């Protein structure tokens, strides 16, 4: 097969199938050929299911994306009988396989997607670079010496290089948005509980986990959200349904929005790198030219200490829980030494976090979130920030054994400084590839809306996509 489909988005590929111009098997074979050609250099895909995919492509579900190939991140979104490693060496060694589909996987199948395999992720998705000891480093296609970000780094590289038009990701502190920025993609973190984590989980890592996809177009981001959004039986809570399908927001007039921008990191007040500042300033000028009211904002509530004081203990408790949960599933008590050094340190520290401290930390972070969310009550419609405070790190700089665990934890916190706050508040936030720096690296900007207002972000993102198209920007891969 040729690469004639590689740079079409999922909506366009589905249109070809619907019109009978191509079969799902032909789309899948083209995706497989591209994965096999590029993956040896990039290491984006860590397990494949090509034979199963070919059987499924012969009769995919008749949904909006019928016959479109996609990849799933190797973390959550389990599919029955397929391996899931979560970046962990012990799971790779045991060849652990999921017993059933998650609700998200079921909905993606119902939308017509055909799953090709799973993409690389850092161990337990706790890093912002994709360099797990279990599978090795994933390379950024814009500069193979650079990180693609994390934790959805493998998915981002697969979409950025045209292996597939869309790939699953999840976002606990920026894990969709950071790779989207590093790889030149659209990355939306939806409102908390917009998508289900069932049937295995109600919440995951407390309140911070959000599921969605990485794409090359705003219309794909919107249409996939239509396909997967909504409550499932047993969910503890859910985001209210939108007024109309998200795909109908693409091209809709966003009106004149009040957009504040900030380029200093929440909590620390550290200035972002010049490239990140330039990306925000470029976006601000573009937004102003489109008729929006744009200006700097202190957004001082972001600097209140509540989140920053409590997150270390909460993260440590989460890693301890992960280790114990996998011990139970495998039927053996796993020592912390099976984990990479940073996660091993967190797992040990988490043993000393009491239930009272956990609840106190959750309460403090929720109070902090209320203060931040109040900015949208009267001051702002949208907040504009860098997605990342600096260009993607060189591979090896934040690798699992490159520095002390304490230094790695600090590096994760610094890289997620602009994204993690909105996992705590649960607000929708999107990264868009509006600028490339002098070295040819994409530099994303983040737009944040009020709770449940993905519609605002999709309208605004589509307006920016039309004003400053990025579809023609492709990394230098064959």
Q: Collapse the DSSP code of 127 into the 3-class scheme (helix H, G, I; strand E, B; otherwise coil) and give the result.
A: coil
E strand or H helix that includes residue 213: strand 210-215
**Positive or negative, the Cα torsion across 242, 243, 248, 252?**
negative
pLDDT (0 to 100) of residue 117: 98
Under 8 Å between Cβ of 64 and 106: no
Place of tokens 């619907």: 18
What whole-number distance in Å separates Cα of residue 469 and Cα of residue 401?
39
**C-alpha–C-alpha distance, residues 116 and 109, integer Å:** 12
Alpha-carbon separation of residue 230 from 190, 197, 466 (angstroms): 12, 11, 29
Domain ranges of the chain: 10-297+373-467
pLDDT in tens, 47-104: 999 999 999 999 999 999 999 999 999 999 999 999 999 999 999 999 999 999 999 9
User: In CATH, what class is 10-297+373-467?
Assistant: alpha beta
Q: Which of 151, 155, 336, 431 is catalytic?
A: 151
What pLDDT shows up at residue 309? 82
| Cα–Cα distance, 33 to 197 (Å, whole number) | 32
pLDDT (0 to 100) of residue 311: 86
User: To 10 degrees, what angle do helices 218-228 and 103-110 make?
Assistant: 120
Handedness of CA 412, 415, 417, 422 (dihedral sign): negative
pLDDT tens digits, one per residue of 393-434? 999 999 999 999 999 999 999 999 999 999 999 999 999 999
Tell the burial category of 110 from Cβ atoms under 10 Å away from its Cβ (0-12, 13-18, 19+): middle
- In 3-state terms, what secondary structure has residue 137? coil
Share the mean pLDDT of the chain: 97
The per-residue pLDDT for range 290-311, each reduced to its tens digit, is: 999 999 999 999 999 888 788 8
The Cα–Cα gap between 77 and 165 comes to 18
- Count CB neighbours of 231 within 10 A: 18
Catalytic annotation present for 175: yes
For 430, phi and psi rounded to 5 degrees? -130, 140
pTM of the model: 0.98
pLDDT, position 474: 96
CA 339, CA 360: separation in Å to the nearest integer?
Answer: 28
Res. 1 pLDDT band, cuts 50 70 90: very low
Give the C-alpha separation, 214 to 152, whole Å.
Answer: 9
For 312-358, how does the pLDDT look when each residue is reduced to its tens digit (9 = 90+)? 899 999 999 999 999 999 999 999 999 999 999 999 999 999 999 99
β partners of residue 169: 212
Residue 133 has what DSSP assignment? T
151 is catalytic: yes
Please state, in angstroms and rounded to a whole number, the distance separating the CA atoms of residues 148 and 185: 11
Spatial separation of the C-alpha atoms in residues 416 and 67, rounded to whole Å: 35
Are the beta carbons of 447 and 455 closer than 8 angstroms?
Answer: no
Query: Are the CB atoms for 181 and 140 separated by under 8 Å?
Result: no
Q: Are 182 and 147 in contact (CB under 8 A)?
A: yes
Cβ atoms of 423 and 372 within 8 Å: the answer is no
Is 276 one of the catalytic residues? no
Determine which one of 155, 175, 181, 217 is catalytic: 175
Q: Which segments of 382-477 are extended strands (E)?
A: 382-386, 429-436, 442-449
**Inter-CA distances, 407 with 47, 134, 329, 399, Å:** 31, 21, 31, 11
| Three-class secondary structure of residue 324 per DSSP | helix
Q: How far apart are CA 459 and CA 149, in angstroms?
A: 26
Both tokens assigned to 121: 């992720």
Alpha-carbon distance of 110 to 29, in angstroms, equals 21
Give CA 430 to chain center in angstroms: 10
Give the Cα separation of 335 and 294 in Å (integer).
Answer: 52
**pLDDT for 429:** 99
Place of tokens 């950071």: 178
Residue 111 contacts residue 247 (beta carbons within 8 Å):
no
Q: What is the pLDDT of residue 2?
A: 57
Report whether pLDDT(3) > 90.
Answer: no
- Name the one residue in this structure whose structure tokens are 């665990």: 405
Per-residue pLDDT reduced to its tens digit, 216-248: 999 999 999 999 999 999 999 999 999 999 999
26-to-8, 166, 292, 362, 376 alpha-carbon distances in Å: 14, 17, 44, 49, 47
């Amino acid at each position: 097969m040729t690469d004639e489909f590689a740079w079409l988005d999922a909506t366009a590929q589905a249109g070809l199938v619907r019109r009978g111009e191509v079969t799902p098997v032909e789309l899948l074979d083209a995706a497989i050929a591209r994965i096999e050609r590029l993956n040896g250099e990039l290491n984006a895909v860590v397990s494949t299911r090509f034979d199963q995919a070919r059987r499924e492509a012969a009769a995919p579900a008749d949904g909006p994306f019928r016959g479109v190939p996609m990849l799933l991140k190797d973390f959550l979104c389990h599919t029955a009988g397929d391996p899931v490693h979560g970046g962990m060496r012990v799971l790779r060694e045991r060849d652990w396989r999921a017993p059933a589909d998650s609700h998200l996987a079921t909905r993606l199948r119902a939308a017509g997607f055909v799953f090709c395999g799973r993409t690389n992720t850092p161990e337990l998705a706790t890093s912002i670079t994709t360099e797990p000891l279990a599978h090795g480093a994933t390379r950024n296609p814009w500069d193979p010496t650079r990180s693609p970000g994390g934790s959805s780094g493998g998915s981002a590289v697969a979409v950025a290089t045209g292996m597939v038009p869309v790939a699953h990701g999840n976002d606990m502190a920026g894990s969709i948005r950071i790779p989207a920025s590093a790889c030149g993609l659209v990355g939306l973190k939806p409102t908390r509980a917009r998508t289900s984590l069932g049937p295995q989980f109600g919440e995951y890592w407390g309140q911070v986990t959000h599921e969605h996809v990485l794409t090359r177009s705003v219309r794909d981001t919107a249409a996939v959200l239509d396909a997967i959004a909504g409550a499932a039986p047993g969910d503890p809570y859910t985001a209210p349904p939108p007024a109309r399908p998200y795909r109908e927001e693409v091209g809709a007039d966003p009106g004149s929005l009040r957009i504040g921008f900030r380029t200093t990191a929440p909590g620390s007040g550290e200035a972002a790198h010049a490239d990140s500042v330039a990306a925000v300033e470029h976006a601000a000028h573009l937004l102003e030219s489109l008729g929006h009211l744009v200006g700097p904002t202190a957004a001082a509530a972001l600097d209140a200490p509540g989140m920053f004081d409590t997150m270390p203990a909460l993260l440590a408790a989460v890693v301890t829980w992960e280790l114990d949960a996998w011990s139970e599933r495998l039927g053996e008590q796993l020592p912390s030494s099976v984990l990479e050094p940073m996660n091993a340190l967190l797992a040990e520290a988490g043993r000393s976090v009491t239930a009272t401290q956990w609840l106190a930390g959750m309460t403090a972070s929720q109070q902090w979130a209320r203060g931040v969310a109040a900015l949208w009550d009267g001051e702002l419609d949208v907040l504009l920030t860098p997605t990342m405070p600096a260009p993607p790190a060189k591979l090896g700089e934040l690798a699992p054994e490159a520095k002390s665990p304490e230094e790695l934890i600090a590096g994760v916190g610094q890289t997620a400084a602009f994204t993690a706050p909105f996992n705590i508040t649960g607000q929708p936030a999107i990264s868009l590839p509006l600028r490339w720096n002098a070295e040819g690296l994409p530099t994303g900007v983040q737009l944040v809306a009020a709770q449940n207002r993905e519609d605002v972000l999709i309208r605004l993102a589509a307006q920016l996509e039309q004003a400053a198209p990025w579809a023609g920007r492709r990394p230098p891969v064959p």
